Each structure stands twice: as C-alpha cells, then as structure tokens.
A and B are shown apart, each in its own frame.
Chain A
Amino acid sequence: MERNLMKGNEALAEAAIRAGCKCFFGYPITPQTEIAAYLAKYMPKNGGVFLQAESEIAAINMVLGAASAGVRAMTSSSSPGISLKSEGVSYIAGSDLPCVIINVQRGGPGLGGIQPSQSDYWQATKALGHGDYQLLVYAPCSVQEMVDKVTLAFDMADEFRMPAMILADGLLGQMMEPVTFPERKTELPPKPWATNGHGFKREHNIVNSLYLVPEELENSILDRYKRYEVIKANHTEAESYLCDDADIVVTAYGAAARVAKSAVNRARAMGIKVGLFRPITLWPFPVKEINEACKNAKALLDVEMSMGQMIEDVKLAINCSKPVHFFGRTGGVIPSPDEVLGEIKKLSDSNQ
C-alpha cells in the first residue's frame, strides 16, 4: 500500500476528489484554507469545479444548487464561517439533498481565534440551522480517518439524501500524518430525483423546502425521521480502547481523543484500570456502544476542547446511570496528556 505524508486539510480535499466530488464552493478562513487552496489547484485537473464564492452564504447556496442537479458537492469552513452557512444547510436538509460540509473547528464564540477547538459540537449535532432535522456528523481523529470518513460521508449522504458533516478541528487540519488513499470512484449511484434536465423523457423533478399545507410539511418531516431511525439502528460507529476491565472510562472525540489515549496509556502503566471510549459518529451518537464500553466502569471522565458539550450526550446515552466527570480546555487551548492523566488519577483515588 502506498503511504504518503499529508497535511490533514490536503487529505480531506484529495479524499473528496477521489470520492467523486465535482463541485467545491468555499471561502477562505484559517485553519481550513489549505482545503480550498488544494482544490483550487487540483479540482479543475480532475474535471471538477472550484469556485471561491463571495461569501460563505453564497457558497452553501451554490452547494444546494449543485446537489440539486445531482452532483457530488462540498463546502468547507471553520467555525464562524459554518455559522454563516447554517441557513443554507437547513434548506439543503429541507430539500432532502446530499452534500458534504467540513468544519475545521477553531475557538469561538464570535470571531474567537484561529487555534483548534471543539466548541461546535452542539451546533453540529443539535442545531446547524432551524427546523426538525439532523446532519450525519463524523468525528475522525487522524488524517487517515479523515480520508476514510470523507468517502463514507459522500456515500451516506447520497444513500439517505441528507447533508453530512466532517467535524474536524484545527489540529487535525494542520497536522501531518501518513495516509493511504482509496481508489478513485468512477461510478456513482443514480439520482433519479435530480433536477438535471428531463429532456422531455420524464416528468420534471422538483427540489423544494417550502410546503403550503402543514400536513404535507409534517409528512415530509415524518418521512425524514423514518430514515433517521434506520441510520440510528445501523450506522453508529465508535472505538472502545481498553474498556473491558476499566473502572474509569474516558470519553473523547477527535483530537481530544488522541490526547486522552496518551493519558490512558500513561495511567495504565501506573496500574490504573482506565479505558477510552471514542465516538466516531456524533450523530447518531453510539448509544449501544457506549453502554457496552462502560458496563463495568464506576465513573466516566469526559474530555473535550470546550466547556463540555458532548458530555450531555454521554449522560443521556447512559441514562445518567453513572457519574460523568468533565475536564476540558477551551478558546484554542489543547489539554495536555499529563493534565488528563492528573484528572484520571484524581478520579482513581476517589474511587478507591
């Protein structure tokens, strides 16, 4: 297998090209700009369109248009830019259109900062725009996993006709790691609903999110929620690491999970029975998997690069059956493995 050293953002971009993405619309913002820079160079060479829009709002609405025409389309941004896109994302969800959105998170709120953060968990999983809807949310923790999840996100978005998000962060976007790319996709599933010209051979298709009759709108939402149930039942993903005999289970996703894993290994070397549970799908949250992972645990420790957002899903998933403690750094500060180790030790001492 050919191994290449790639910067996270470049790998996301190359993975999109290989997944058959033909349209990218974006607007620059640190720390995700390399995605756009890479696609500006290589999308045209691969028969696709790169367009730097006049704003994030324009970019997401171009994604809506391209997706409606049946093309694999993507946009990327970082936290403040994703907020700007939220209206368009809601319209895309309401129109049952597939697309991929990448958020390389940075510190917020407001303009915040350019250093890595995970403070958009709530936005991604609960409320990226108005209305009853969900996004598929993937939280990779390595450059290789970012590549794999971009491919999966395009496939799942098409299959379930909904937007999918890669929730990365500045650290994952900027760091270098070896990767292997999948083969290029040459054939994609047909999209009989696409508004790509009927050629007088079929009825014209309509893509729309406006319903004049409340019952029709309700039915469209109920249909969507039936699909969500299928996804919840079949498409959750998580990693459990040394959880079987663990007294303490650390929960973390993305870059924070890399830090947490180092801390878990250091704690294990000291004889503390601790494991790591890492959700890979944030929506749907891996409920079954987390209950399995912490069945022998006395307590959980949730670690995030935020003030604590995923912790609410952790508590809900285990129905508050065990104490869930929290440690986080925010505003672009990354917790160190030793800081997390300190929290694990504190918990371990109080459990004795």
Chain B
Amino acid sequence: MSLKLKKYTIITGHYGSGKTNFAANLAVKAAEEGEKVTVVDLDIVNPYFRSADFAELFEKKGISLAAPLYANTNLDIPALSFNIEDFMSTDGKVIVDVGGDDSGASALARYKEFLLQNADDIEGICVINMYRYLTGTAAEAVEFMREIENASGIPMSAIVNNSNLGEETTAETIENSSAYADEVCRLTGLPLKYTVDASAGAEVKNRFPAEIYVKKIWEK
C-alpha cells in the first residue's frame, strides 16, 4: 500500500484508542516508503505509554522525534519545547500524536492558526476504538471527536478504526467493529481511511496491517 501522506497528519483520539501505536506504525511505514518523517509527541496528558517511548525504534528507521521537554522524566511539567517556526520549517512529513482528551487536544490549539492557513496540507485523523468503555457507541465516539475538535480548533478529515481489546484481540474482534466504524463515518460524513489490524488477519475494509509497538514491560 502507498500511504500518500499529506504534509501534516494530526492524530487524535481517546486515550486507549491506540492512536500512539497507530502513529508509530504510520511513521515506520512512511519511512520505509522513503519519506522523511518527523513524529511530534504533543501528548501532555499521559505520563507513560507515549510516542516518546519509541525513540530507539524511530532512530533505527531514521524518523525524527520531537517530544515535550520533560517526557518520560520525573518532572511532572507538561512543557512543549518546540515552536511554530520549527514546526513550519520541518522537511518531509510530520505526524502529530495529540493527547487523549479535550485537555490534551488543547495543546494543539497553539498551532491552530498556522495549521488552518495550510488546511490543504493537513489530514486530521480521529482514531476510534469500539471496545473503549466511553466511546463504545458511534454517537459517543462522535461526541468525543467533537470535544477534541472544539478544544483544538482543528477539524478532523478522516476516521481510522483501531477497535481492539488489547492482548485479547482476534480477527473477529476487529470484524465485529465494522458496523460501528461505518456508523461513525455516516454520522460525521468522514471517510474510513483505515481499519487497523495488528496481525490478527481480519477481513475488513481498507485494512492497515500494523505491529504492536506499545508493549507492557512483561511482554518485552
């Protein structure tokens, strides 16, 4: 598959939707297609399990990583060290992993003016997971997406269905979420860009084969 990424891919979603794992997969695939890729970890909500965890993987794949100043340290300060000028002048493709709720998405609002000026270069992806407790119905998922859009000021332009039950995910788990994803697309009028499948072999629309990079320490 060819990704044909736009200049900026903004990835949002509820924490637990698997957006960080999706962002890592997207970055690796783009790099393997020969793109110059920068991942921006804009997550100021989660203290652990974040894009900045993949520094080693990204280095191996030649992917640049821009993480908050104190990510994965003991400093509990959600400081963002990168400025708009850096953001604009980055060569290649930029993938932005945004924090998993409306307060996380407010970090994105800082770049709103610049992003809206370049709307044609931006893909806003909302990652959904039917098995998350509070986004289990299409209506809830859409409500959540609206909260993120309101907080960030950036409209979403595509849906990625990453429905999974963690280590219990089977092909059936993913296939059973198709109707949910279709309903989210219908309610929002947005296209279903991908259905993520981390090697479960599901038969689904726009299948995006993925690796599981977000692992617990006892699975490593």
Judged by DSSP, the binding face of B is loop
Q: Are A334 and B217 in contact (CB under 8 A)?
A: yes
CB–CB B166/A177 < 8 A: yes
Bound-state CA distance A30–B78 (Å) is 12
10 A–B pairs (Cβ distance < 8 Å), ordered by A: A3-B168, A7-B15, A30-B47, A31-B48, A170-B47, A178-B166, A178-B168, A262-B218, A262-B219, A337-B220
- B49 in the interface, Cβ–Cβ < 8 Å? yes
Convert B21-40 into 0s and 1s, putting 1 for each residue whose CB lies closer than 8 angstroms to a CB of A.
00000000000000000000
How far apart sit A332 and B133, CA to CA, in the bound complex (Å)? 29
Contacts of B65 in A (CB 8 A): none
Residues of B within 8 A of A112 (CB): 74
Partner of B220, one of A3, A174, A261, A336: A336
**Known contacts A262-B218, A262-B219, A337-B217, A5 near B46 by CB under 8 Å:** no
Residues of B within 8 A of A4 (CB): 131-133, 136
CA distance A169 to B156 in the complex (A): 35
The answer for the CA separation of A14 and B136 in the assembled complex, in Å, is 15
A10 vs B131: C-alpha distance when bound (angstroms) = 14
Selected from B46, B129, B165, the residue in CB contact (under 8 A) with A3 is B165
Of A10, A170, A177, which is within 8 A of B48 by CB? A170
Cα A337 to Cα B168 with chains together (Å): 21
Determine the chain B residues whose CB is within 8 A of the CB of A115 once the complex forms: 47-48, 74
A299 CA to B61 CA, complexed, in Å:
45
Given the interface pairs A176-B16, A336-B220, the reply to whether A5 lies near B74 with Cβ below 8 Å is no
Chain B residues with CB below 8 A from A7, complex form: 15-16
Task: List which A267-310 residues lie within 8 A (CB) of chain B.
Answer: none
A163 within 8 A of B: no
Q: A115-B48, A178-B165 are in contact. List 18 more A-B contacts (CB 8 A).
A: A3-B168, A4-B131, A4-B136, A5-B131, A5-B132, A7-B16, A30-B47, A107-B74, A113-B74, A114-B76, A115-B47, A170-B47, A176-B49, A178-B167, A258-B218, A259-B218, A262-B218, A262-B219
B164 part of interface (Cβ distance < 8 Å): yes
Whether B47 lies near A31 (C-beta < 8 A) is: yes
The 6 closest A-B pairs by CB, nearest first: A113-B74, A262-B218, A4-B133, A258-B218, A5-B131, A178-B165
B122 vs chain A, min Cβ distance (A): 28
Q: Does any Cβ of A come within 8 Å of B4's Cβ?
A: no
Residue of B nearest to A3 (CB): B165
Asked whether, in the complex, the Cβ of A5 is within 8 Å of the Cβ of B133, the reply is yes
Give the interface size bracket for A toward B: 20 to 34
| Contact indicator per residue, chain B 171-192, by CB within 8 Å of chain A (1) or not (0) | 0000000000000000000000
Which of B133, B136, B166 has the most A CB atoms < 10 Å from its CB?
Answer: B133
Q: B216 in the interface, Cβ–Cβ < 8 Å?
A: yes
Question: Within the assembled complex, what's the spacing in Å between the Cα atoms of A3 and B49?
Answer: 22
**B46 x A174 contact (CB < 8 A):** yes
Tell me which residues from 8 to 46 in chain A have a Cβ below 8 Å from any Cβ of chain B.
10, 14, 30-31
List the B side residues contacting A10 at CB < 8 Å.
133
Asked if B16 and A6 make an inter-chain contact with CB atoms under 8 angstroms apart, the answer reads yes
Interface string of A89-120 (1 = CB under 8 A from B): 00000000000000000010000111110000
In the complex, residue of chain B having the shortest beta-carbon distance to the beta carbon of A176: B16
Best-surrounded residue of A5, A14, A170, A171 (most CB of chain B within 10 A): A5
How far, in whole Å, are A336 and B16 apart by their CA atoms in the complex? 24
Within 8 Å of chain B (Cβ to Cβ): is A175?
yes
Number of A-B pairs, beta carbon distance below 8 Å: 71
> Would you call B49 and A175 a contact (CB within 8 A)?
yes
Contacts of B217 in A (CB 8 A): 171, 259, 334, 336-337
Q: How far is the CB of B77 from chain A (nearest CB, A)?
A: 10
Enumerate chain A residues within 8 angstroms of B46, measured Cβ to Cβ.
174
Q: Which residue of A178, A336, A337 is within 8 Å of B131 (Cβ)?
A: A178
Q: Per-position contact with A for B207-218: 1 when CB-CB < 8 Å, else 0?
A: 000000000111
Residues of chain B within 8 A (CB-CB) of A31 are 47-48
Docked pose: A334 CA to B216 CA in angstroms: 11
In the complex, are the beta carbons of B218 and A261 less than 8 A apart? yes
Q: With A114-B76, A259-B218 in contact, is A5–B48 under 8 Å at CB?
A: no
Which residue of chain A is the closest to B129 with respect to CB atoms?
A5
Report the Cα distance A114→B77, complex, angstroms: 11
Q: 8 Å CB contacts to B: which residues of A143-196?
A: 170-171, 174-178
A273 to chain B, nearest CB (A): 21
Q: Chain A residues with Cβ under 8 A from B131's Cβ?
A: 3-5, 178
| Residues in B neighbouring A175, C-beta threshold 8 A | 49, 216
Give the distance in Å from the alpha carbon of A61 to the alpha carbon of B168 in the complex: 41
Q: Name the A residues within 8 Å of B74 (CB-CB).
A: 107, 112-115, 332
A6 touches B218 (CB 8 A): no
Q: Which residue of A lies closest to B101 (CB)?
A: A37
Contacts of A6 in B (CB 8 A): 16, 132-133
Interface set, chain A 239-270, CB cutoff 8 A to B: 258-259, 261-262
For B214, the closest partner residue in chain A by CB is: A176
A6 to B, closest residue via Cβ: B133
Nearest-Cβ distance from residue B165 to partner chain A, whole angstroms: 5
A262's nearest neighbour on chain B, judged by CB, is B218
Q: Are B218 and A5 in contact (CB under 8 A)?
A: no
Chain B residues with Cβ under 8 A from A14's Cβ? 133
